[in-house]
Chains A and B, each alone.
Chain A
Amino acid sequence: MAEDAEMRAEPSDNDWIRVTSNDGFSYMVKRKIANVSGTMKNMLDMDSKYAESLSRTVPVMQRGIIVEKMLEYMAFKAYYETVGPKEDIPVHEYMERLPPEIVLELLLAADFQEL
């Protein structure tokens, strides 16, 4: 989903946020998804006027794979946060897609991003 967004996104679109990794990847996500992370939310707060909120770019000091998985989780969370209590949340499927090698690194990144 994050890759799809990257391919189709227009940089001028207000609602899109660019998330960059430290090895040169960049991902476009909806502001709504970025707001799932407390850190990103503060970073993009229009009232505080930090450099990131003006350029609508969020640098994440992690490898691409970590950023990608993290955004996937954020999208997953943003989507299922609003569904009704009866609907089944496929946590298990998401787990299946998580490569065990990066789990620790992903945890650190998540801590940083206040997830």
Chain B
Amino acid sequence: MNVARRGKPKIKPPRKHGTTFNAEKTWAELANNIREIQNHDASNLSFEENYRFAYNMVLHKEGKMLYDGVKKLVAEHLDTLAKDRVIPVFPTGGQDDPMQRSQEADIFLKALRGVWDDHISNMVKLGQILKYMDRVHTKSEKVPEICEAGLHLFLKHVIRPPIQQHIVGAILNQVRFERDGHSINRSPVKGCVDVLLSLDVEPSVTVYKRELEPAFLRESETFYQAEGAKLLETCDAPEFLRRVEARFESEDSRTHHYLARQTAAPLRQILKDNLLTAHLATVISLPNSGLDNMVDTDKTDSLARLYRLFIMVPTGLPTLKRSLKESVARRGRQINRASSGAEGVDAEIDVVGDEGDRKGKGKARPVANAAAQRLALALKWVEDVLELRDKFVAVWQSAFDKDREVESALNEAFQEFIDSNERSPEYISLFIDDNLKKGLKGKTDAEVEAVLDKTIVVFRFLTDKDIFERYYKGHLAKRLLHGRSVSDDAERGMLAKLKVECGFQFTQKLEGMFHDIKLSGDTMQAYNAHLAKTTAPEINLSVIVMTSTFWPMSISASPCTFTPEMARTCKSFEQFYLSRHSGRRLTWQPSLGNADVRAAFNAATVELNVSTFSLVILLQFQCLDEDAVLTYSELQKATSIEDRELQRNLQSLACAKYKILKKHPPGRDVDKDDSFSFNAAFTSPLRKLKISTISSKVESGEERKETRDRVDEERRYQTEACIVRIMKDRKHMTHNDLINEVTRQLAGRFHPDPFNIKRRIEGLIEKEYLERCEDRKSYNYCA
């Protein structure tokens, strides 16, 4: 209304307020009225009158007297209230009965809240009357408004010792009572907490923050320390986790319902520290109910709870991961032990076999058994691994929320224990071999897919993929050569999967093998057509032409002197093939072939399916008398077959289930001074027999060493090739960079040892592919 007006100013002075003013008298009346108000008797009082009292006092510069007077009145009133209503209901504290203590606390808190409500409503009313003072006097004097002054007074006169201690004590008592599992009346507690929250001791530090919260947190800490120890002592792991989770929930609801939100975080921290962090490792490894047991008994709920609780604390996830890894590793060790236990069994069986030998029975059967058993163990190993993997994946999916970190921990653990079994590449290959050979019969395509997919999962854990490749190649070659594969589609499916996993390079040779088989089919058709036109040799021949680089067999053929008819037959094919493809060389691999031969025994003629070597051995007896005896060395001279192969084939002919030859002296093993004769008395219920060469499916120690050596050799070449490839590209590189790059590139196939890489680099320097730079730390590529 600040108006500047034009025109003639004819402003009259305002009339004087009242006639006379007496500060003391006005105050006396006002003070009287204020007391009335404090006694809830305002309805007889005129607001206008009281407001005018205050107004006049402020106008007449008596604001200070008014302000201080009101404060004194309020303080007096508060003292009275505290004396009359709060102090009489102090909790006695000495009671042993917690129920009674709780009730006392309840009453006390209610009374306090009552006083607070009373005080606030009084202050609102006073604030209204003294509004003019607040507007004019308090501002210029820079003292708090009367309402705020009221809060200070309340703080000073009510929230003081001993009342304050009683408040904190009563609230803590109620909380403890509730924690012990009883129910309390929450609203008075909340009422008082609110009071404490709205009172500031210092700017933005409430009484709650200063007094109640620290005490509460201290109390909680003690409580939960004891609680944690108690739970650990009395509960098994699932129960512990359930209780702990319940505690978290109840504390959360507590802070939510009647404590301040600001307490939630520190309180939660206390819970985490005392219930979780302190006991994590103990709980997870409790012998009969910890993680292991939960996984064993498929307690998905408990595991999920475990995960939920563990991810709350920073040390939780690592602990969980460690335990999981330990669990997997332990189970893995068991599986590994079970399979390596076979070695022990082998030895035992050997001993038993020897004993049986002396008794003149048993013969070669234990060997076959042991081989079968070893194969079974290999298969069992893979199945066990798959089962274990399934189990943990299921747990991971259902309980661990598909946590990425947990997954990688699991993968690591699997990788570790699979790697720790040095035979795992062989076992996995054997498993696939077995499945593709017979296991897939009668299964639908989808099931086949599922089995192969799972196998690929295990395959992924292998570090030494090149060893696997070697075995797989061997097994695949045998399958292809003997036509043992059940389904071409399944084979190709597996190949496709490997290709996806390891790239084109990995499967190139495998695919080449398939290609060779197909080409050979075509060649044989053409050859048979060719034979029809010319004179055919006396032996029917079926040939598979293998590209030497694709197939795992050694290029140099194992020596074997063919009988003249055999040699003629071979010659015939050789001529045919070389006429179609010039510039190629054919090498015969008798060790891989087999033959059907009709043998005339005394009783009947039986058709025998034997290996090519065995055929050659048998043919040595063809033109001899029935009882003629050939010694081992004679046989060797005639056939020029290597010792090992000769022994193996003689064993299968003379010592296995069907004894086509007689060994002198009889026995299970073939020695170099044994001699043999044709067993004309042989009888068989079947017209056609398959004499399988005794060969162990799982490699023996010596063979494994050989494979190992070959793998190492191949690795050397690969490492060198890789180094050259990289250096050709970069021209110049430091030693460490080169090592890193080589490791990275080879990691898909195997895990190269830096020391070996270094040796290869030295080798390449010698061969002058590379040269060392002057700084002794880097290399140049020499074109």
Contact = CB atoms under 8 A, between A and B. Distances in A.
Instruction: State yes or no: do A and B come from one complex.
Output: yes
Interface of A: 38-39, 42-43, 45, 47-54, 58-61, 73, 95, 98, 100-108, 110, 112, 114-115
B1 A106 contact: yes
Interface residues of B, number: 29
A102 to B, nearest CB: 7
A51 B46 contact: yes
Contacts of A49: 42-43
Contacts of A107: 1, 14
A52 B11 contact: no
Given A43-B51, A95-B3, A105-B15, A51 B9 contact: no
Given A50-B45, A50-B46, A101 B10 contact: yes
B154 interface: no
Given A100-B7, A100-B10, A101-B10, A52 B48 contact: yes
Contacts of B135: 114
Interface in B341-355: none
A98 B124 CA distance: 36
Given A39-B51, A112-B132, A115-B1, A52 B13 contact: no
Contact of B124 (A47, A60, A95): A47
Contacts of A60: 48
B591 interface: no
B444 interface: no
Interface string B36-57: 0000001111111001100100
Contacts of A38: 131
Contacts of B323: none
A104 B45 CA distance: 30
6 contacts: A48-B47, A48-B125, A48-B128, A61-B52, A101-B12, A103-B1
Interface of B: 1, 3, 5, 7, 9-15, 42-48, 51-52, 55, 121, 124-125, 128-129, 131-132, 135
B14 A101 contact: no
A115 B135 CA distance: 12
B206 to A, nearest CB: 26
A59 B48 contact: yes
Interface SS of chain A: helix
Given A98-B3, A103-B3, A114-B131, A53 B12 contact: no
Of B14, B43, B121, B131, most buried by chain A (CB within 10 Å of CB) is B14
The 3 A-B residue pairs with the shortest CB-CB distance, nearest first, are: A42-B128, A50-B47, A43-B47
Given A38-B131, A43-B48, A114-B131, A48 B11 contact: no
B42 A48 contact: yes
Nearest to B55: A112
A1 B51 CA distance: 28
A11 B150 CA distance: 38
A105 B51 CA distance: 19
A101 to B, nearest CB: 5
Contacts of A50: 42-43, 45-47
A48 B48 contact: no
A102 B5 CA distance: 13
Of B7, B43, B128, most buried by chain A (CB within 10 Å of CB) is B128
B20 to A, nearest CB: 16
A46 B46 CA distance: 14
A103 B46 CA distance: 28
Contacts of B132: 39, 112, 114
A39 B131 contact: yes
A59 B42 CA distance: 17
Given A45-B128, A73-B1, A102-B12, 15 more contacts: A39-B51, A42-B47, A43-B51, A47-B124, A48-B125, A49-B43, A50-B47, A51-B44, A60-B48, A100-B10, A100-B11, A103-B11, A104-B12, A105-B12, A114-B135
A104 B5 contact: no
Of A43, A50, A104, most buried by chain B (CB within 10 Å of CB) is A50
Contacts of A48: 42, 47, 124-125, 128
A54 B15 CA distance: 31
Contacts of B46: 50-52, 59
Nearest to B5: A100
A60 B14 CA distance: 15
Contacts of A95: 3, 5
Contacts of B44: 51
A54 B14 contact: no
B49 to A, nearest CB: 9
Nearest to B13: A104
B1 A100 contact: no
Contacts of A51: 43-47
Contacts of A102: 12
Contacts of B48: 43, 52, 58-61
B11 A104 contact: yes
Nearest to A43: B47
A104 B14 contact: yes
Contacts of B125: 48
B500 to A, nearest CB: 68
Nearest to B46: A51
B624 to A, nearest CB: 125
B289 to A, nearest CB: 61
A38 to B, nearest CB: 6
Nearest to A105: B14
A115 B10 CA distance: 24
A101 B303 CA distance: 88
A53 B42 CA distance: 10
A46 B43 CA distance: 11
Nearest to B2: A107
Contacts of B43: 49-51, 54
Contacts of A42: 47, 51, 128-129, 131
Contacts of B129: 42
Contacts of B45: 50-51
A110 B14 CA distance: 13
A59 to B, nearest CB: 5
